Amino acid sequence: MAQALELAREAATAGEVPVGAILVVEGQVQGRGANRREQVSDPLGHAELIAIREAASRLKTWRLPRSTLYVTLEPCVMCAGAILQARIERVVFGARDPKAGAARSLYALLEDPRLPHRVQVIEGIMEAECSALLKDFFQRLREARQDP
């Protein structure tokens, strides 16, 4: 999670919402991602999707069993769908997302028994650090909008 948090800090420095993701497959980091929606004008530029794409490309397979995705913020519906499609085994996230979280907050898509694949979810890892980074980022945005 520390590596994902560092990627989130890099995203914040670039003006992106500070979310970072690391995908570990069989004990090896195979994918890294930081939010890049603003930089590349891409609504799919979420940290999780970037990490999943990198791992799939590196391993030359879309199936990523025996993998763990570490992400600083609870995945959204889009990212949860990608996680399920990639057959990721476990998701570990730092901060809950009360507005868009699809792993626990608003939805529990990753653990839904109606779906053909379920993902183990572990939450709250380095939660204070992940939450503080997000809160500081959005506070600075609000302050910048108020300055004349």
Interval 81-130: pLDDT, tens: 999 999 999 999 999 999 999 999 999 999 999 999 999 999 999 999 99
Q: Which of 68, 36, 37 is nearest to 52 (CA)?
A: 68
Q: What is the mean pLDDT of residues 61-88?
A: 98
Q: What is the mean pLDDT of residues 125-146?
A: 95
Q: What is the pLDDT at residue 148?
A: 63
Place of tokens 């868009």: 100
Kindly name the residue from 38, 48, 111, 143 that is annotated as catalytic: 48
pLDDT by residue (tens digit) across 21-62? 999 999 999 999 999 999 999 999 999 999 999 999 999 999
Sign of the four-CA dihedral 84, 88, 89, 92 = negative
Place of tokens 């085994």: 89
Q: Quick check: 146 pLDDT over 90?
A: no
Place of tokens 């997302």: 97
Q: What is the pLDDT at residue 107?
A: 98
26 catalytic? Reply is: no
Q: Please report, for residues 61, 78, 114, 131, 143, the alpha-carbon distance to residue 21 in angstroms, rounded to integers and kept in the order given.
A: 19, 15, 27, 15, 27
Place of tokens 């979810």: 121
Distance CA 126, CA 138 (A): 19
Beta bridge partners of 93: 71, 123
